[in-house]
Structure 1
Amino acid sequence: MPQLAFKRPVPLIVAGLAGLLIGLLAYPLLLNQVRTRVIDEQFAHLSDATAAATRMTATVHQALSALASELDLPASPPGCSKELQDRLQAFQLRTPSAEAAFRIEDNRLTCASLPSLGDNTLLPAHHSQRSDGTRLWYRLQLQQAPQGGPYTLLERQQLGVMLDPDEQFSRFFGGDVRVAVYENSPPFPTSLTVGQIPAPWLQRMPPGSREQRLQDQQSGDLLVRRLSTSGQTVILASRSAASLQAQIANGSHYLWSQALLIGLAGAILTLLVYPRQSSSRRVLERALHSGQMFLLYQPVVDLQSGQCIGAEALMRWRQQDGSTLGPDVFIPLAEQLQLSDRISDCACQIIARELPALLQRVPDFHISVNVSAQELNTFAIVQRLVELRQRLRLQPSQLIAELTESSLAEAERALPVIRQLRANGISVAIDDFGTGYCSLSYLATYPFDILKIDKSFVSAAGTDSIIGPIAEHIVTLSKSLGVAALAEGIETPEQAENFRRQGVALAQGYYFGAPMPMAQLLERVQGPAQS
């Protein structure tokens, strides 16, 4: 860990605040994860339980129908024979959900698997009848029964079976779930219920759906509806919001400690990174204020006349040991530290200070300024270059903004910024053309004035290299688009002559001059033309 973190209180304060903020932000995220997990688990539990309950009710109906057809009670002698009572008792034993089985004649229990129930007990009117003829009683109270009720009674062809919904469904769902079995058509008559079921919850299943999961918007209860195999009835199960919140609270006991650990990790990471970042920022800001940043100018020549008609301004950083850093080193750092605009502003100030002496001798001299991807996301660069042009009284096209393909790919608002630059008399050049991934798409998307052929294609032109013909194709492309072409990286007279014959207007490279201070550039433009 950098010693700077212990020598200065600011990194410690920043790390502490960062850790606190990260911990506070982490807690709701962790709580949301717990809530999502609990809800998913409860939905899965209700889904499994409704599936089991559906199978249970289907089994009861099938067993009831099978025995009713086998006994054919309406055609049998009335009353309660010993054989019938034995068959009812056997049915009860092999049907785990059944509390008792009956013969029902004229709404009276005339025979039962439990003798105490078969004493001609009169039943109230049934509540509903299914399409297959099965009659349903629910919330039925029978004083002779062991528990008293309420029970649900199903009857078909005088054969009835008594169910205890609370007991049967509790083994699937637990004691805090409300359950209903209802018909899948209005008015949705209910045959089995556990707990109070709001009427709006009883709805027809969507066509083609076997299961529905949703959360009640008002109560927050979880609801699962499952359609039976026959498609006639629906099992509805509900987990209360209060039970849900209790489980979420139970799973959230240690969230603050987890958030504290995350915040502590964030504080340690900040303590490791912040001193390095803040130190880099201070060094870069000191360089901008102390004049360590300076410009070199690489000449741009007219290939037909050999005259130096412009230059590209290149920022350099002079270190204390006398060495020099190029923009490929400090521009990415400046972008990371959000200091790109400061670098650009420094370059414009130096140009405004150094260029007037050259313009007095060559009034139509043009100057190129490099624009980073970060600067293309705001219109600040437009205002900065417009102010520079006005201060130097440059004619349109004398000030050029150079953009790389990579900067166009990274910037989100490049197109409106480029349009504003050109609307204010500032030309636009695409630098290092051909090295990006979407070169041709950029030509169709972005308006520009100069196409700079990358030096890798320039050096390969006229050779047997596989990329040798690319430079010639780019020249042809620039002519078809009606824009100027500039060959970068010219190092030999043969390369210069090759592009001159192809009709390329502009060139730059070490053959015409390396990047140089303004004093040397003044001598260069006053000297004889390069032949």
Structure 2
Amino acid sequence: MLRRITLISASIALGCLATIGPVLTSLYFANRDVENRDRADIQEFADKAMLRAELVTYQAFAALSDLEQQPGAACSPANLEQAARVIYNYRYVQDAGAYAEGKYLCSPLLGDVHDKDLTLPPPDYRTNDGFLIWFRQKSPLSDVRKDLQIGRNGHYVSMDPEAYVDLIDPARRPIAAIQTTTGTVFAVSAGADPNEMFNAWKHAGDVKSDEWNYAVARSSTRHIAVVVKSPRSSVVGDRPKLLAAWLSVGVIAGALLGWLAYRRVTRQLSFASTLEWAISRRKLDVVFQPIVRLADNECAGVEALVRWTLHEQAISPEVFVRVAEESHLIQPLTDLVLDKTIAQLGRLLAANPAFYVSINVSSEDLRTFRFLNLLTKSLQGTGIAPRQMRIEATERSFMNADATRGVIAAFRAAGHPIYIDDFGTGYSSLSYLQTFEIDVLKIDKSFVDTIAQDTASSVVAPHIIGMAHELGLEIVAEGVESEFQAQWLRTKGVQYAQGWYYAKAMSAGDLARWLGKNRAARTPDSIGGGIATGSIET
């Protein structure tokens, strides 16, 4: 009997253990999973906050660079006009002006304050490259506000520190921004204790707390760190909310619809944030598609094209370029293409003055002189002539004629030929061809495909060619894929072509090899002064 009771007791114990054990184990792993998810979520948010901080800082230094481009005496009308333009062009810049000998001199908002003795105290920090930083500088425009101020060479810009921590966040997690060289907490959001956030940064977010999680993100390019604080979740505490959700069909339906909407928005925001991250870390590649002179099949130049591979999957440029335009990332993307193009083709261009590369420029950079100034500065000391860097713009870029006309003229005055890309697919108009001075029309592939075919659009290519000849413009035919198309275009007086018939877009190294083969394939009479392909820097 005793043995039977023992066996029964053991069986009951084992049964209870088998029932309770998995429950207790699942609760343990559930809590660990919640903790891991919390940490992953807060780290992701911290990384997004760091992207914002890098963007704000980028604008500050870019704004200072723009101020330094304007020649002439401080506080001259031209310099004040340039400062006003900087305040307008850069979203996070609140004021911009000049200073000297520890005093404010002028700004578009202050006016001329030479005689008002507005003292500027010594900076809180000096960088090795000559930048002066005031972390909490009292603004002369306000009795209570303190700005982040950055200066160099007599120019300064003022930023609202809250721009570093003012992110859209339904959870309202406290954020702090820290200058890592000095350990200065220069921006905090509502609910953030500077001392607490500094301690979290000091310990890389590894702070023991039963109530809070901390995450730290550091910039790879600036001496900046971001600290985020978030309350810990509880699987037990959250369960009643989950159970309550099932009590009502209406609540379930509403939660489902809200979740679907949230997921959609999250994916979009996540893609834009990933693109911003990729641009800031130079993860996008630039490839080059040859442009061939039809008369002798010699490669006259190339078009620089941007490509992005994410998680070993190629992302269509039509997708990420559109997201870049919608997310105000198109200018950093264009800057990256320019930088990589000069780095990879600089020696080839310098060694071959007749060779060129064309770069696609967005409508945003055809409304201001920002990109022209950057291009001019980037070419200094490279040996590359302005005519070797050509500007391609789509038709819709020309819609705002008043804002664009002067910039287009400035590009051409600086020596950069202007191309209209994909001509005929957008807002085609003879009026803007007469209004703007341009150099080249590029016939879109969709019209090249219908050459000599009996279709409604087959008459477009001959019409464009005839119009270009009347206006004295050169022509590049895109998407050429057969000898028949090339011969037809040649007979119609089209000067240049690009497309798979000649070559696909390729890396700088592959371009060097292709140029060598192209030069060898042509007859000695047509080679003439061939391109020195061995000087490409990859």
Which structure has more RCO (C-alpha within 8 Å, separation ≥ 6)? 1
TM superposition score normalised by structure 1? 0.48
